[in-house]
């Protein structure tokens, strides 16, 4: 007799093993001391420029500031979606043409260890 395999259970087990290797973030609500936030260049929107155009301009001029802005906005409330947004912004900030030497996993670990 052949054993019936359940690929969903295998996937669930794999994802749990991967999640255990990352640092679990402390909820911001449990944070006792507020750390000073890095200064982010504000996005000035003129009357003739839409929000999307402002974001595109910031992405072209200073992508790191855009990622910092996304992180700052996501930190205002805690939720799974906002945690994913923070991790995605950290990933984008630490890879590609912005920083070639830093490992993105290390950037995420470092961020959450400070929280």
The conformational region for residue 96 under phi > 0 = left, psi -120 to 50 = alpha, else beta, is: left
> Taking the C-alpha atoms of 13, 15, 16 and 22 in order, what is their torsion angle to the nearest 10 degrees?
150
The stretch 58-78 carries a mean pLDDT of: 90
- For residue 67, pLDDT over 70 is answered with yes
Least confident residue range of 21-25, 54-58, 59-63, 68-72: 21-25
């Amino acid at each position: 007799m052949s054993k019936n395999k359940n690929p969903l259970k295998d996937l669930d087990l794999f994802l749990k093993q991967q999640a255990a290797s990352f640092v679990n973030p402390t909820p911001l609500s449990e944070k006792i001391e507020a750390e000073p936030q890095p200064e982010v260049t504000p996005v000035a929107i003129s009357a003739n420029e839409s929000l999307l155009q402002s974001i595109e301009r910031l992405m072209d001029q200073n992508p790191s500031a855009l990622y910092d802005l996304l992180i700052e906005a996501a930190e205002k409330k805690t939720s799974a979606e906002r945690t994913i947004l923070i991790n995605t912004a950290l990933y984008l900030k630490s890879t590609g043409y912005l920083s070639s030497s830093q490992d993105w996993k290390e950037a995420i670990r470092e961020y959450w260890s400070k929280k």
